[in-house]
Amino acid sequence: MMEERFNLAKVRIAEIEKETQIAEPYCSYFKQVASFLMGILDCFEHLSDFDKVSDYSKLSELFKYNHELYKDILPDNYEKSYANPAYAVKNLSEGYGQLLSTLYAEMYCLIPIAYEGAWRKEQSLIELVIRMELFIEMYCSFSQSEGEKPTVESLKDILYWFVSDYSEEEWLSRTRQKLDPKEDFAYRIIMESDLNNPSYLFSYGEYISDNQIETSKYLANLDEATIKLMADTYTEGYRIGFVKGNKDLSKKKVVNIVYPIGFERMIKLAIANFEKMGLRPSIMRTAHSIFHRRGMGVSGYYSDSPNKQFDFDHKEDEALFLDKKLVNRKLEVVKEAYETYRELAAAHAGPAWVEVFGEKPFSPVVKKEALALCEKQQKLAATYSVKCGQIINEYIPGEERSFTIIAFPIPEIGDDYEAIMEETIALNTLDYETYENIQQTIIDTLDKGNYVLVKGMGANKTNLKIDLYSLKNPEKETIFENCVADVNIPVGEVFTSPVLKGTEGVLHVTDVYLSELQYKDLSITFKDGMITDYSCKNFPEKEANKKYIKDNILFHHDSLPMGEFAIGTNTTAYVMAEKYHIKHKLPILIGEKTGPHFAVGDTCYSHCEDVAVFNPDGKEIIARDNEVSLLRSTDMEKAYFGCHTDITIPYDELGELSVVTSENEVIPIIIEGRFVLPGTETLNEPFNQ
């Protein structure tokens, strides 16, 4: 039946490509999108098996074909693309422009779906057909209106019911990909391809740039020992995360691998390492569809974005239809999906992430034509995020799962790519015992404190007081976790959950990138640990700046707590960044180790606060909760926010970090960007070099 629907839809779309019966400018729009769809359908029908992809004779031909599929949203063409809401509104009018631009953007998720059809044809067929039929239904609304345009509301209804009707199928498929190793599309690419020939990269259907090609070539030429070191560091960090978290890895059977395309040689060895631990890999693609899209983040294997402005323009397309009824519907299908795969969920150990850094900094243009959630929808989106997290935690309990994250540069970082890669590999494998001992010295001092003072210097206006837990039994308890190379690679931080009451002041950074978005003069004010005000200077209008922060740091919440306070100790990473002028390109994973950092949102122990955690010295870390997360026993919906964003003050903007004891003794730890606490002098050696 699905094949019959596919064939009927294909015939109809081919007719639309040639028809002229509806009025301009809409006729041109539908013909262009129909032509795009016919290209995808042709691709789908000719990719009957993997060999059809991998046996293309020339890399340049693959590259050209790949970019042809994505050409309309590439930066050089985007200004005159219907996928650009500003262009669509200009040519199709207000209301219609936003909606039809959203429709076109949704069609772009079909490219990787078509490629997956080589190995999972049945599911790909479903995902293709429902979107083809959506496009046809939209077209018919115009062609059957007898000279009158359909109303924007009627078109919104079509999109609303598309999302509502197919949410169940989409969530079942997505959850299965996350949990079930039998969903092996990417696994087979990794295990069966000739990884010395970068043509395999084009098997995914994702946009492939020079970054993926040059990364693959670089790794292909690395000696086996170095690749093994990269993979071993990654997988051993994952294993140690379970040990340090006092969690039983033997209960688990599946690890969810998230990686950047181009790193397959490393991932292949990592898979072998995980299998020795008794873990099979589940590997899913990053979601591109309106069903799952959230912001600009990744959630599975991923490549370069064809155009980050396109991603930014469409990150809130659900503003067209989001309401309470749909939120409840989506939560129902999430619950149903995890209930369907309950056994797989119970065996799921958590994600193992590989990140990349070095992309050209992206500072988005905020367009008035782009869709944005209204205040009511923002609250609904925030509610959905929290409740969705709670459902997932019910089936994959936080106290039983762990994770790890490691990062490497990509060629776009510049001419020093190979040198930076070598230093990053060394950075990821720094001697953890050295850091563990130095960090214990810092922790022993912090454990004496009532609060910590953090002040900026120069242009940095930070002035914060962070309240600390009181120890009842200092011989057996501690406030800060001694973080070496496990879940967060590389080594280099001590962190805690601050006491919210009494935590106050201003956090300021002059220039920072968070989740690939730039913030200029970011300032956040806290009172009793909660955000009370925020600003930046990205845009001329004050309200535009506030919306930018609320959308992308607060994730639509009215306020967030300071969920973490940490002191980064990895001066080697900081000096590397200064040496190659890449400080603004470091991922949070490394950047957070290059100075004190503060996370807004949930604590580091979110959903597993009741699991006892111990430092290497045997002391239990008691600061796992704050006044907000403690609400889980009385009102779960108020206890968690489903977000955690780290903001780092680099050493060169840090004037003072001192701990103040109950006797009002002030003990400096860092002064003017240098460690001054006795026993930490080794951390200054990279600066001296």
> Residues 272-279: what's their mean pLDDT?
98
Q: How far apart are the first and last CA of the chain?
A: 69
Q: For residues 55 and 122, is the Cβ–Cβ distance under 8 A?
A: no
pLDDT value of residue 294: 54
Q: Assess whether pLDDT exceeds 60 at residue 494.
A: yes
List the one residue out of 63, 354, 349 whose CA is nearest residue 234.
354
Q: Are 533 and 495 spatial neighbours (Cβ–Cβ below 8 Å)?
A: no
- Residues 470, 623: Cα–Cα separation, whole Å: 9
CB 105 within 8 A of CB 314: yes
Percentage of residues in the chain with pLDDT exceeding 70? Answer: 97
The mean pLDDT value for 593-610 works out to 92
- 568 φψ region: left (φ > 0), alpha (ψ -120 to 50), beta (else): beta
User: What per-residue confidence (pLDDT) applies to 70?
Assistant: 97
| H, E, C per residue of 488-515 | ECCCCEEEECCEEEEEEEEEEEEEEEEC
3-state helix/strand/coil string of 125-160 = HHHHHHHHHHHHHHHHHHHCCCCCCCCHHHHHHHHH
Question: What pLDDT, on the 0 to 100 scale, is given for residue 386?
Answer: 87
Asked if pLDDT for residue 290 goes beyond 60, the answer is: yes
From residue 62, alpha-carbon distances to 53, 59, 75, 187, 209 in Å are 9, 5, 20, 21, 11
Report the phi/psi class of residue 655: left, alpha or beta, with left for phi > 0 and alpha for psi in -120 to 50. Answer: alpha
DSSP for 15-64?
A: HHTT---SPTTHHHHHHHHHHHHHHHHHHHHH-SSTHHHHT-S-HHHHHH
Written as one letter, the residue type at 505 is: G
The amino acid that residue 246 corresponds to is N
**Cα 145 from Cα 168, distance rounded (Å):** 31
Tokens 């779906």 found at: 113
Residue 57 scores a pLDDT above 60: no
Which is more confidently placed, 527 or 429?
527
Residue boundaries of the structural domains of the chain: 2-170, 430-688
Mean pLDDT of 211-231: 96
**According to the model, what pLDDT value does residue 56 have?**
47
Tokens (6 digits) for 289: 């569809």
Phi, psi of 683 (to 5 degrees): -65, -20
User: Residue 656: in which H helix or E strand, if any?
Assistant: strand 654-661
d(CA 574, CA 454): 19
What is the average pLDDT score of the chain?
93
Is the distance from CB of 484 to CB of 236 less than 8 angstroms? no
CA pair distance 660, 36, nearest whole angstrom: 64
H helix or E strand, kind and range, residue 450: strand 449-456
Q: What is the C-alpha to C-alpha distance for residues 426 and 424, in angstroms, rounded to an integer?
A: 5
pLDDT at residue number 52? 47
With residues binned 3-state (H G I as helix, E B as strand, rest as coil), the percentages for the chain, rounded to 5, are: 50, 20, 35
Q: Three-state SS for 285?
A: strand
Q: What is the pLDDT of residue 49?
A: 47
Task: Report how far residue 668's alpha carbon sits from residue 645's, in angstroms, rounded to the nearest whole number.
Answer: 27
> Looking at the predicted structure, is the pLDDT value of residue 282 above 50?
yes
- What's the token pair of residue 485? 């190379």
Each residue's pLDDT tens digit, 606-663: 888 888 889 989 999 999 999 999 999 898 888 999 899 999 999 999 999 999 999 9
On the question of pLDDT at 589 being above 90, the answer is no
Determine the Cα–Cα distance for residues 304 and 294; give it in Å rounded to an integer. 17
Arithmetic mean of pLDDT, 257-286: 97
Orientation angle between helical segments 152-179 and 96-107, nearest 10 degrees: 30
Dist. CA 36–CA 491, nearest whole Å: 47
**Surface-to-core class of residue 637, CB atoms within 10 Å of its CB (0-12 exposed, 13-18 middle, 19+ buried):** exposed
Question: How many CB atoms lie under 10 A from the CB of residue 665?
Answer: 11
Q: How confident is the model at residue 146 (pLDDT cuts 50, 70, 90)?
A: low
Per-residue pLDDT of 353-398, as tens digits, reads 999 999 988 888 999 999 999 999 999 988 998 899 899 999 999 8
- Give 608's Cβ-side CA count (13 Å radius): 19
Distance CA 48, CA 318 (A): 34
Q: Predicted confidence band at 260 (pLDDT cuts at 50, 70, 90)?
A: very high
Q: Is 146 exposed, middle or buried (0-12, 13-18, 19+ CB in 10 A)?
A: exposed
Amino acid identity of residue 91, one-letter, is N
Cβ atoms 102, 314 nearer than 8 A: yes
Asked whether the bond before 25 is cis by omega within 30 degrees of 0, the reply is yes
pTM: 0.89
User: Residue range 586-611: average pLDDT?
Assistant: 91
Rounded to 5 degrees, what angle do the CA atoms 216, 218, 220 make? 65
- Cβ neighbours for 283, distance < 8 A, ≥ 6 positions apart: 183, 184, 185, 186, 187, 190, 256, 257, 259, 300, 301
**Residue 482 per-residue DSSP state:** E
Please determine, for residue 48, whether its predicted confidence score (pLDDT) is greater than 60: no
User: What amino acid is encoded at 16 in this protein?
Assistant: I
